[in-house]
Amino acid sequence: MQLRRAYERGEIQICSAALSSQGGWDVPKVTTPASPHPRAESKFSGVTWGPWSFSVTQRPSTGMAIMDVHFRGERILYELALMDAQAVYGGRVRDQFMYSDGAYTMSQWTASLQPGVDCPEGAQYISAANWMGTNPDVQGDVLKAVDFWPICIFEWTEDHTVWRHMDNAEIRGLLRRTVLVRSIVTVDNYDYIVDVKFREDGEIACSSVFAGYPETRWAGPGEDRFSTFVRPGVGGIVHSHSVAFKADFDIAGSLNALQVTEVKEHESYGLGLHWKAAPGEVRYPTKVLEQHYVEHEGPGNSTFTADPRVPKAWVIVNRNTSSPPASLPRGYRMELTSFSTVQVHSSSHPFSRAMPWTKYHLAVTEYKDDEYRPSSNYVNFDGLNPCNWSGAQDLDKFLADGDSLLDKDLVAWIGMSKEHIVRQEDIPLVSNFGVSFSLQPFNFNALNPASNP
């Protein structure tokens, strides 16, 4: 208070800083030039490609959402959407901090994507409304919203085959063709490059790549415990990036269940078959499958983190339908396809309580109209008091009521994290890195659909 009063009396000497992005700052020396061709712009969000059809939109707070996803005419997802992103920074008691990027907006600070840089030639660009951005005529007034193009869609032949085999010296394979939906979210110093790839075999591959430049601070006492010194006296703070996705499944309708299959080692050689060992034979443990349905939601019941010692298949299935010839329940599997951490802090830490989805790679709940995002953007401003009243958006609150998950409309909340241990090479801009997961048909089809695309 004394400092404020002295400032108001004009007794505080203020140092000015001439900040500029030109000249004195380190800047990249070479960048990809923008395409001379204009964007192929569209205000229509419906997409049909090969076996796929869906709609794409951009939400003001949370960014890209893909709705009403059909494969071969059959709906498998009501919604697949980015939900939020968290950044947690280390430091002394009063120096550590976190961001909910959805609280700032994962859409409105973003510029239109640049052809030839963000998306390849021939991409189609989808429009959205912007009333915050850098346009001085908008000034945060939703009634003055203008169009911009934050999403692009393009066909892409990937750098590997969807299947390949050599038999009798004859090689057969099929290049993997994909339709790719891309959105790039800018939140101040960071960019999130979100890709969703729809592949001919029914797989949906999702990734979030972290780009931009790291947040730094002047080094105080003990800063080497929290930062890498990227310049003399300048600390690149250790921090995590976490992203949350929502996948609202409809597998052969909305009455679904969560099936978990675990691969474990078992000491019993014959599993009750009592095979007779030969003289001197050594019996070694074998791999077995243990499978069950998750009956109720709740922490430890319908929440999971990947464990390299116990591989699992997490599958949303319809127990009332089956695919020939084996008559197995039709489903879609959720699988991490990159190394991904979870929240480093304990469950009691304010940053964990504020955004509980960071504690899990997967959590499954019953669909409810008033449970539409896994954390509230208000926790960015008061994380010590998470919202827990009726209608509050909090994954722990969703899980706490223990609803039945058998033959229900199910929602999968997918969380992925990456610790960024800063290095000198992150200056001036980081080399993009990220996390990814996949939604894969699991006994959904009788054969690989890409065998006859």
Asked if residue 275 belongs to a domain, the reply is yes
DSSP state of 11: -
With a CB cutoff of 8 Å and minimum separation 6, the contacts of 217 are 95, 223, 227, 234, 235, 237
324 found inside a domain: yes
Rounded Cα gap, residues 98 and 85, in angstroms: 10
Q: How far is CA 151 from the centre of its chain?
A: 16
Q: What is the mean predicted confidence (pLDDT) over 85-90?
A: 95
pLDDT grade, residue 25 (50/70/90)? low
pLDDT tens by residue, 376-385: 988 888 877 7
The dihedral formed by the CA atoms of 67, 411, 345 and 311, expressed in degrees to the nearest 10: -110
- Give residue 82's pLDDT: 97
Task: Report how far residue 41's alpha carbon sits from residue 32's, in angstroms, rounded to the nearest whole number.
Answer: 21
Check residue 252 and give its pLDDT: 95
Element (H, E) at 309: none
8 Å CB contact between 76 and 256: no
User: Is residue 128, in this structure, part of any structural domain at all?
Assistant: yes
Least-confidence region, from 23-27, 76-80, 358-362: 23-27
Q: Estimate to the nearest angstrom the gap between the alpha carbon of 75 and the chain centroid.
A: 22
Average pLDDT of span 1-7:
86
Structural domain span for residue 297: 41-451
For the entire predicted model, the pTM comes to 0.91
Annotate 409-421 with b (16+ C-beta within 10 A) or e (fewer).
bbbbbbbbbbebe
> What is the b/e burial string over 93-107, where b = at least 16 CB atoms within 10 angstroms of the residue's CB?
eeebebbbbbbbbbb
Instruction: Tell which residue, 23, 85, 78, 21, has the closest CA to residue 54.
Output: 78
Could you write out the DSSP letters of every residue in 13-81?
PPPP----SSSSS---S--PPPPSSPPEEES--EEEETTEEEEEEEETTTEEEEEEEEETTEEEEEEEE
177 SS3 class: strand
Q: What is the pLDDT of residues 418-433, one digit of tens each?
A: 999 999 999 889 999 9
Q: Measured between alpha carbons, how far is 74 from 8 in angstroms, rounded to an integer?
A: 66
pLDDT digit string (tens) for 228-242?
A: 999 999 999 999 999
Task: Measure the N-to-C terminal CA separation of the chain; round to a whole number of Å.
Answer: 71
Asked if residue 382 is part of any domain, the answer here is yes
- Taking the alpha carbons of 20, 22, 24, 25 in that order, is the dihedral positive or negative? positive
Does residue 18 form part of some domain? Answer: no
Report the domain count for the chain.
1
Question: What's the CA gap between 66 and 45, in Å, rounded?
Answer: 10
Angstrom distance (rounded) from CA 57 to CA 174: 31
Does residue 68 lie in a domain region? yes
Of 406, 399, 443, 396, nearest to 294 by C-alpha is: 406
Strands 328-336 and 312-323: antiparallel
The pLDDT assigned to 28 comes to 82
Q: Does some domain include residue 240?
A: yes
**Which helix H or strand E contains 248, and what residues bound it?**
strand 239-249
**CB of 66 within 8 A of CB of 80?**
yes
Residue 159 CA to residue 146 CA, distance in Å, equals 38
Q: Is the pLDDT of residue 337 over 90?
A: yes
CATH number at residue 213: 2.70.98.20
Tokens of 101: 């990027």
* 245-278 tens-digit pLDDT: 999 999 999 999 999 999 998 876 555 555 666 7
